[in-house]
Amino acid sequence: MSSRLSVLSFLSATAVLLSAGLSPGLAPQSHAAADDSLAIVVNRTNPVENLSFSELRKIFLGEQTHWSNGRRITVVMLEPGNSERQAALAQIYKMGEKDFINYFLHGMFTGEIHAAPKALPSSAEVLKFVLNVPGAIGYVKNPDVNESVKVVRVESRLPSEKEYLLRLHGKLPK
Protein backbone atom coordinates (compact mmCIF):
# COMPACT_ATOMS: atom_id res chain seq x y z
CA MET A 1 0.00 0.00 0.00
CA SER A 2 2.77 2.48 0.90
CA SER A 3 4.58 1.88 -2.41
CA ARG A 4 1.33 2.64 -4.25
CA LEU A 5 1.03 5.91 -2.28
CA SER A 6 4.66 6.75 -3.11
CA VAL A 7 4.03 6.22 -6.81
CA LEU A 8 0.86 8.32 -6.65
CA SER A 9 2.72 11.08 -4.78
CA PHE A 10 5.50 11.04 -7.37
CA LEU A 11 3.01 11.19 -10.24
CA SER A 12 1.14 14.01 -8.53
CA ALA A 13 4.35 16.00 -8.06
CA THR A 14 5.28 15.37 -11.70
CA ALA A 15 1.89 16.62 -12.85
CA VAL A 16 2.29 19.79 -10.75
CA LEU A 17 5.72 20.47 -12.23
CA LEU A 18 4.57 19.84 -15.78
CA SER A 19 1.57 22.13 -15.32
CA ALA A 20 3.99 24.80 -14.06
CA GLY A 21 5.85 24.60 -17.36
CA LEU A 22 8.78 22.56 -16.07
CA SER A 23 9.44 20.36 -19.07
CA PRO A 24 12.76 19.47 -20.73
CA GLY A 25 13.81 19.56 -24.33
CA LEU A 26 13.08 23.07 -25.55
CA ALA A 27 15.90 24.96 -27.20
CA PRO A 28 16.68 28.45 -25.91
CA GLN A 29 15.70 31.36 -28.10
CA SER A 30 18.21 34.07 -28.81
CA HIS A 31 17.34 37.66 -27.99
CA ALA A 32 19.58 40.51 -29.04
CA ALA A 33 19.36 43.48 -26.68
CA ALA A 34 21.53 46.44 -25.86
CA ASP A 35 21.16 45.67 -22.15
CA ASP A 36 21.47 41.97 -21.46
CA SER A 37 21.17 42.08 -17.66
CA LEU A 38 18.47 40.20 -15.79
CA ALA A 39 16.59 42.38 -13.32
CA ILE A 40 15.31 40.70 -10.17
CA VAL A 41 11.86 42.16 -9.51
CA VAL A 42 9.52 42.12 -6.53
CA ASN A 43 6.18 43.66 -5.67
CA ARG A 44 6.49 47.38 -4.85
CA THR A 45 5.21 46.75 -1.29
CA ASN A 46 8.03 44.29 -0.56
CA PRO A 47 10.49 45.82 1.94
CA VAL A 48 13.54 44.08 0.42
CA GLU A 49 15.98 46.43 -1.34
CA ASN A 50 19.09 44.28 -1.68
CA LEU A 51 19.84 40.55 -1.72
CA SER A 52 23.19 38.85 -1.54
CA PHE A 53 23.71 36.31 -4.31
CA SER A 54 23.49 33.57 -1.67
CA GLU A 55 20.11 34.86 -0.41
CA LEU A 56 18.80 35.12 -3.98
CA ARG A 57 19.84 31.53 -4.70
CA LYS A 58 18.18 30.24 -1.49
CA ILE A 59 14.95 32.00 -2.44
CA PHE A 60 14.92 30.61 -5.98
CA LEU A 61 15.80 27.10 -4.73
CA GLY A 62 12.88 27.18 -2.31
CA GLU A 63 15.18 27.04 0.73
CA GLN A 64 13.93 30.42 2.00
CA THR A 65 10.15 30.50 1.92
CA HIS A 66 9.23 33.78 3.65
CA TRP A 67 10.29 37.42 3.42
CA SER A 68 11.48 39.30 6.52
CA ASN A 69 7.93 40.67 6.96
CA GLY A 70 6.58 37.10 7.18
CA ARG A 71 4.94 37.09 3.75
CA ARG A 72 5.27 33.84 1.79
CA ILE A 73 7.67 33.99 -1.18
CA THR A 74 6.33 33.00 -4.60
CA VAL A 75 9.02 32.51 -7.25
CA VAL A 76 7.99 33.13 -10.84
CA MET A 77 10.07 32.23 -13.89
CA LEU A 78 9.75 32.30 -17.64
CA GLU A 79 8.76 29.08 -19.39
CA PRO A 80 11.41 26.80 -20.89
CA GLY A 81 12.82 28.05 -24.18
CA ASN A 82 13.61 31.62 -23.11
CA SER A 83 17.21 32.84 -23.03
CA GLU A 84 16.38 34.61 -19.74
CA ARG A 85 15.38 31.27 -18.18
CA GLN A 86 18.58 29.62 -19.45
CA ALA A 87 20.62 32.43 -17.87
CA ALA A 88 18.71 32.13 -14.57
CA LEU A 89 19.20 28.36 -14.52
CA ALA A 90 22.92 28.66 -15.22
CA GLN A 91 23.69 31.63 -12.98
CA ILE A 92 21.19 31.46 -10.09
CA TYR A 93 20.36 27.76 -9.88
CA LYS A 94 23.73 26.58 -11.28
CA MET A 95 21.98 23.74 -13.11
CA GLY A 96 20.51 22.86 -16.47
CA GLU A 97 16.83 22.27 -17.26
CA LYS A 98 16.88 18.53 -16.47
CA ASP A 99 18.68 19.01 -13.13
CA PHE A 100 16.24 21.82 -12.28
CA ILE A 101 13.26 19.53 -12.93
CA ASN A 102 14.83 16.70 -10.94
CA TYR A 103 15.67 19.06 -8.05
CA PHE A 104 12.06 20.20 -7.70
CA LEU A 105 10.59 16.73 -8.31
CA HIS A 106 12.79 15.32 -5.56
CA GLY A 107 12.12 18.24 -3.20
CA MET A 108 8.36 18.05 -3.64
CA PHE A 109 8.35 14.25 -3.35
CA THR A 110 10.31 14.34 -0.09
CA GLY A 111 8.39 17.33 1.26
CA GLU A 112 11.54 19.48 1.51
CA ILE A 113 10.07 21.92 -1.02
CA HIS A 114 6.42 22.95 -0.92
CA ALA A 115 6.08 24.66 -4.29
CA ALA A 116 7.97 24.77 -7.57
CA PRO A 117 8.45 28.15 -9.24
CA LYS A 118 5.48 29.27 -11.32
CA ALA A 119 6.31 29.40 -15.04
CA LEU A 120 4.85 32.13 -17.25
CA PRO A 121 5.14 32.66 -21.03
CA SER A 122 6.43 36.26 -21.20
CA SER A 123 8.12 39.08 -19.32
CA ALA A 124 4.83 41.01 -19.44
CA GLU A 125 3.13 38.11 -17.61
CA VAL A 126 5.95 37.97 -15.03
CA LEU A 127 5.59 41.71 -14.37
CA LYS A 128 1.80 41.41 -14.08
CA PHE A 129 2.13 38.46 -11.68
CA VAL A 130 4.67 40.28 -9.48
CA LEU A 131 2.45 43.39 -9.46
CA ASN A 132 -0.53 41.35 -8.25
CA VAL A 133 1.17 38.98 -5.78
CA PRO A 134 2.79 40.83 -2.84
CA GLY A 135 5.24 38.00 -2.02
CA ALA A 136 6.33 37.35 -5.61
CA ILE A 137 9.87 37.52 -6.96
CA GLY A 138 10.92 36.97 -10.55
CA TYR A 139 13.30 38.08 -13.26
CA VAL A 140 13.00 39.87 -16.59
CA LYS A 141 15.45 41.51 -18.98
CA ASN A 142 16.28 44.93 -17.60
CA PRO A 143 14.80 46.81 -20.61
CA ASP A 144 11.44 45.07 -19.92
CA VAL A 145 11.13 46.48 -16.38
CA ASN A 146 8.41 49.07 -15.79
CA GLU A 147 7.17 51.12 -12.83
CA SER A 148 4.70 48.40 -11.73
CA VAL A 149 7.46 46.49 -9.90
CA LYS A 150 10.55 47.18 -7.82
CA VAL A 151 14.03 46.14 -8.97
CA VAL A 152 16.08 44.57 -6.19
CA ARG A 153 19.81 45.14 -5.93
CA VAL A 154 21.93 41.98 -6.06
CA GLU A 155 25.17 42.28 -4.11
CA SER A 156 24.34 46.02 -3.75
CA ARG A 157 24.27 46.54 -7.54
CA LEU A 158 21.47 47.39 -9.95
CA PRO A 159 21.23 45.77 -13.41
CA SER A 160 22.47 48.96 -15.09
CA GLU A 161 25.73 48.94 -13.09
CA LYS A 162 28.97 47.58 -14.54
CA GLU A 163 29.71 44.85 -11.97
CA TYR A 164 26.15 43.48 -11.85
CA LEU A 165 26.25 39.66 -11.77
CA LEU A 166 23.20 38.48 -13.71
CA ARG A 167 23.49 38.70 -17.48
CA LEU A 168 22.06 36.74 -20.39
CA HIS A 169 25.55 35.77 -21.50
CA GLY A 170 27.50 36.37 -18.32
CA LYS A 171 30.00 34.30 -16.46
CA LEU A 172 28.81 32.19 -13.58
CA PRO A 173 28.80 33.89 -10.16
CA LYS A 174 30.85 32.06 -7.54
In a 10 Å sphere around its CB, with 0-12 CB exposed, 13-18 middle and 19+ buried, how is residue 30 labelled?
Answer: exposed
Q: Domains of the chain by range and CATH?
A: 2-154 (3.40.190.10)
**Rounded CA separation 15/68 (Å):** 31
pTM over 0.85: no
Give whole-number Cα distances, 72 to 87, 112, 160, in Å.
25, 16, 28
Q: What is the DSSP string of 154-171?
A: ETTB-TTSTT-S-BTTPP
The predicted-structure confidence for 21-58, as pLDDT tens digits, reads as follows 444 433 333 333 337 899 999 999 999 999 999 999 99
Contact status, residue 56 vs residue 64, Cβ threshold 8 Å: no
**Rounded CA separation 46/92 (Å):** 21
Looking at residue 42, what is its pLDDT?
Answer: 98
**Rounded CA separation 116/110 (Å):** 13
Residue 19 scores a pLDDT above 70: no
